[in-house]
A and B are shown apart, each in its own frame.
Chain A
């Protein structure tokens, strides 16, 4: 598995983005110019209660634009946390499906993130079973106002790019779990969304499939400077390989281990600053293993 894109040469402009821009009536060159240190996702003091339990308690995190001169560099952010800590709840809030009880969530240039403005790849990759793979892709385009023929052309192009063109006429029940996941990701690229949330994308994958997903994730992130993928997972190793920033979501505990608070960001790692991002084969480096051990230690206390 490789971590990050190759250091050189510069990535070509994303053909997907060009199509999306054309569909939206704007050329790719007219898209917002990347700016270093721009905040792409801002979660501020978010609180959420569920069934009387305080699930999230003051979650605050920021994702900023990573800039590499001469290279289009998107962001891959991992949100690590144990099962039941509230990761999926946070995904629902960031994606606009639910509203926080307190706090604010905004995207690029402090814009609000209503449902539909953020892509989400759910853990079970739900697809419409009455549509073929191509049909599912087209629904995603048409839902965003893309004309039918244009949606079809773009869907076919994306399926080819994701190695799924030979499955275009298949119903979801007839494709594998890995293929479903790729369709679910490709679906999100049918419209111009720069924030993509992925809920447990590594669960249940064999090592080869895991490598493929990480590669795909990095590739999608680096399609555009402002693209950001937030991976919600409890798979520490895969998260560290794939991402440039890691946030750890956890709760406070009493001395006897009893949970005493809702979840908040307890640790943050800047893998770029540590020199552990964008490098192929990074998982073989001793520094990576040291960091993995450290994160595991922290994880136990979450």
Chain B
């Protein structure tokens, strides 16, 4: 007896066709994607994740059993007291002025040194400056005090020194790693060495220079409390936090720490905006990669 096989079901057509098992495996849902390695998530999901982690951290803080960690309300009140009565605003301004001054000097010195790496004669000097990053700042307080006479000049020079060694290391590496093809390309176009330097070295690495500035701003900002603690006469947020430390005002210490973190994040964001405005091609490069 012959058995008639059932007629095959009509093939699904159009958009209603179910995805193949392989395709279904390749496209996990939004929730699954956030737990799988090497997956991109959309912007809304990314923002949601940040909000989730922030909320989790806040809840941990809220229910924290540790005596040494003042509650959010306590810190908020301490912040208000410091801001309105403790002079936190002017102290923050003093600190911002110090970091801006030091950052400006760092950029000027570091860029000059980094660009000099295109000339073989200066390479050992630049390498030496770069190696100085292994010197601890603490040991340099005495010689720098003798050199500058202390006070504001001491703090600026300490910060500048600290940031310059890291800036030069990163920026010299950027300059040295420019592909030879870029220089050759400009040479065959007929450009002179000065124009090549301007286009390939200076303008061609501007986005990376700004990025390094951004990183060094973060390094400088992290060093600020230590440097301001060396000479407290001019005040500043570092002096403020050390004074609160001395009197075991934990809520005030946390309030200042949070203020330092928030201002640091704001400065970092502003630097990011500067990079995007001055170098709009950077975001395209990232997409291309």
Interface residues of A (CB under 8 A from B): 92, 95, 97, 115-120, 122, 124, 126-130, 139-140, 142-144, 171-174, 187-188, 190-191
Contact = CB atoms under 8 A, between A and B. Distances in A.
Contacts of B288: 173-174
The 6 closest A-B pairs by CB, nearest first: A116-B190, A143-B191, A173-B284, A171-B281, A120-B188, A126-B185
A173 B285 contact: yes
Given A139-B199, A174-B284, A130 B188 contact: no
B184 A122 contact: yes
Nearest to B184: A97
A130 B281 contact: yes
A175 B141 CA distance: 53
A140 to B, nearest CB: 5
Contacts of A124: 181
B195 interface: yes
B204 interface: yes
B230 interface: no
B190 A128 contact: no
Given A122-B181, A130-B203, A173 B281 contact: yes
A298 to B, nearest CB: 31
Nearest to B180: A97
A115 B185 CA distance: 10
Contact of A191 (B185, B189, B207, B280): B189
A129 B204 CA distance: 7
A174 B288 CA distance: 8
B64 interface: no
Interface of B: 179, 181-182, 184-192, 195, 199-200, 203-204, 206-207, 279-281, 284-285, 287-288
23 contacts: A92-B184, A97-B188, A116-B187, A116-B188, A116-B190, A119-B188, A120-B185, A126-B181, A126-B185, A128-B182, A129-B285, A130-B204, A130-B206, A139-B191, A139-B199, A140-B189, A140-B190, A143-B192, A144-B189, A144-B190, A171-B284, A173-B285, A188-B188
Contacts of A120: 184-185, 188
The DSSP consensus for interface residues of chain B is: helix
Interface on chain A toward B: helix, strand, loop, or mixed SS? Answer: loop
Residue picked from A92, A126, A142, most chain B C-beta under 10 Å: A126
Contact of B187 (A97, A128, A187): A97
Nearest to B185: A126
A186 to B, nearest CB: 12
Contacts of A143: 186, 189-192, 195
Given A95-B188, A115-B188, A130-B207, 10 more contacts: A116-B189, A122-B181, A122-B184, A126-B179, A128-B200, A128-B204, A129-B285, A130-B204, A143-B190, A173-B284
Contacts of A126: 179, 181-182, 185
A126 B181 CA distance: 7
Nearest to B187: A115
B185 to A, nearest CB: 4
Contacts of B207: 130
B190 to A, nearest CB: 4
Most chain A beta carbons < 10 A, residue from B192, B280, B281, B287: B281
Nearest to A128: B199
A178 B88 CA distance: 58
Contacts of A130: 203-204, 206-207, 279, 281
B280 A171 contact: yes
A187 B199 CA distance: 16
Nearest to B196: A143
Nearest to A116: B190
Contacts of A116: 187-191
A214 to B, nearest CB: 22
Contacts of A128: 182, 199-200, 203-204
Contacts of A127: 185
Nearest to B200: A128
A191 to B, nearest CB: 6
A128 B179 CA distance: 12
Nearest to B283: A173
A97 B196 CA distance: 14
A126 B184 CA distance: 9
Contacts of B184: 92, 97, 120, 122
Contacts of A174: 284, 288
Contacts of B279: 130
B62 to A, nearest CB: 46
A133 to B, nearest CB: 12
Nearest to A126: B185
A142 B200 CA distance: 15
Contacts of B287: 173
A120 B188 CA distance: 6
A116 B183 CA distance: 12
